[in-house]
A = this chain, B = another copy of it.
Amino acid sequence: MINAAEMVVPDALDGLALAHRELRVLIEPAVILRADPPRGRKVALVSGGGSGHEPLHGGFVGYGMLDAACPGEVFTSPATGQIMAAVRAVSMGGGVLFVVKNYTGDVLNFEMAAELAAEEGIGVATVVVDDDVAVEDSTWTAGRRGTGAALFVEKIAGALAERGAPLWAVAEMGRRVNAASRSFAIALTACATPAAGRPGFDLPDDEIEIGVGIHGEPGQRRDKIRPVNELVDIAMQEILGDHDLAPGDETIVMVNGMGATPLIELYIAYAAVARALAAKGLGIRANLVGNYVTSLDMAGVSISICKADADMLTLWGSPVRTPALRWGC
């Protein structure tokens, strides 16, 4: 449902600007900002990445979360110039934190922007998110891919920045959240990019891709479709096997739809996740069930678990007011 492949991002930004007066949206270069920016020396949070994962990241711009998001073309890294436009727009003297999902292009372009910002006297720290336990290296990544934990990092570090913490502390918290988070995804269908107009890979109706990435990158293996409780068990084994969770630990849980999964099915998956955690003596202190980190029209689910300490839980519960995440204010 587009007008033309090359118009997807500008057309969508046009709609985003019209729908959300609380945002200021630049079309060229593409940057999403708060219409009513904070004052003082608050650390500014900037994120970005390829489009097609909405509401990530533009839907998380606002009080208590991001100051700016840089949407690239669909599944394409944002350009360094675009990131610099965001940096200049949001820099308030307290420095800038980049939240970057671990994809080679994203990491490179944000790194270049950090160097350019330093030349302009703007201090930048970076949190690279790499929470996806499915594969060690992937199509577009050296090391683990960054997926759902980007939301955890943006929310929790964003709340700390809103409280006036300095850049080193906001960055440190972002890294702690990433280190405490693990994700795993299973796809039932491929997704079709606007440019291609057809699914990016071929997945038979009765097969699933286990450990899929958010661009449809291959995972660990293919298997036959099976009951969702078994799919969740596979994902939870991968997550818990890689995590240092112990009975009595508290968690924040996200059961995330990848774009074409009915909400009713996400709640079925959530029930299975909650049971798996309870069986290990783990508590869930907060949860999100819905479409937060999508892959266009891919059917599937990703599960993200953050082992949350008391600081993280307080910051998670702090007020947030963005198009896609909103509570407490």
Which residues of A come within 8 Å of B, CB atoms? Answer: 1-4, 8-9, 11-16, 18-19, 51-52, 54-55, 59, 74, 188, 227-229, 231, 259-272, 274, 284, 287, 289, 291, 294, 296-297, 299-301, 326-327
- Is the Cβ of B263 less than 8 Å from the Cβ of A260? no
Taking a contact as CB atoms under 8 Å apart, the answer to whether B2 and A263 are in contact is no
Report yes or no: B260 in contact with A16, Cβ–Cβ below 8 A: no
Residues of B close to A51: CB separation below 8 A: 264
Q: A3–B296 Cα gap in the complex (Å)?
A: 25
Q: A262-B54, A297-B262, A326-B327 are in contact. Are A270 and B231 (CB under 8 A)?
A: no
The smallest C-beta distance from A292 to any residue of chain B, in angstroms, reads: 10
16 A-B pairs whose Cβ atoms sit less than 8 Å apart in the complex: A1-B188, A1-B231, A1-B268, A1-B299, A2-B227, A2-B265, A3-B268, A11-B267, A11-B268, A14-B268, A15-B274, A18-B271, A18-B274, A19-B274, A54-B262, A297-B299
Q: Choose one: B8, B52, B269, B284; the contact of A1 (CB below 8 Å).
A: B269
- Whether B16 and A267, one on each chain, are in contact in the complex, defined by CB atoms closer than 8 angstroms, is yes
Cβ B269 vs Cβ A15 within 8 A: yes
Contact A270:B1 (CB < 8 A) given known A261-B297, A262-B296, A299-B297: no
Minimum CB distance partner of A14 in chain B = B271
B-side contacts of A266, CB under 8 Å? 15
A301 in complex: contacting residue of B1, B188, B263, CB < 8 Å: B1
A16 nearest CB neighbor, chain B only: B267
What's the Cα separation between A49 and B300 when bound, in Å? 26
When distances are taken between beta carbons in the complex, the residues of chain B under 8 Å from A54 are 262-264, 267
Q: Is the CB of A268 within 8 A of B12?
A: yes
**B267 lies within 8 A of A15 (CB):** yes
Which residues of chain B are within 8 angstroms of A274 by Cβ–Cβ distance?
15, 18-19
User: Which residue on chain B has the smallest CB distance to residue A263?
Assistant: B54
**Per a CB cutoff under 8 Å, which of B4, B228, B326 touches A227?**
B4
Instruction: State the Cβ distance, A259 to closest chain B Cβ, in Å.
Output: 5
- Across the A-B interface, give the 3 residue pairs with the lowest CB-CB distance, nearest first: A15-B267, A260-B260, A15-B271
Not counting A1-B188, A3-B227, A259-B262, a sample of 16 additional A-B residue pairs whose C-beta atoms are within 8 angstroms of each other reads A1-B269, A2-B228, A2-B265, A8-B268, A9-B264, A11-B268, A14-B268, A15-B266, A16-B267, A18-B271, A19-B287, A52-B264, A54-B264, A260-B299, A261-B297, A262-B297
Chain B residues with CB below 8 A from A291, complex form: 263, 291
Q: Who on chain B is nearest to A323 by CB?
A: B289
The answer to whether B227 touches A264, judged by C-beta atoms less than 8 angstroms apart, is no
Asked if B326 and A264 make an inter-chain contact with CB atoms under 8 angstroms apart, the answer reads no
| A15 and B263 form a contact (CB under 8 A) | no
Q: Please tell me if the beta carbons of B11 and A260 are within 8 angstroms of each other in the complex.
A: no
**CA gap between A284 and B19 in the complex, in Å:** 9
- Kindly provide the distance from the CB of A227 to the nearest chain B CB, expressed in whole angstroms: 4
Q: A261 contacts B15, CB within 8 Å?
A: no
- Complex Cα distance, B257 from A296, in Å, reads 13
Q: Once the chains are docked, how many angstroms separate the CA of A259 from the CA of B290?
A: 11
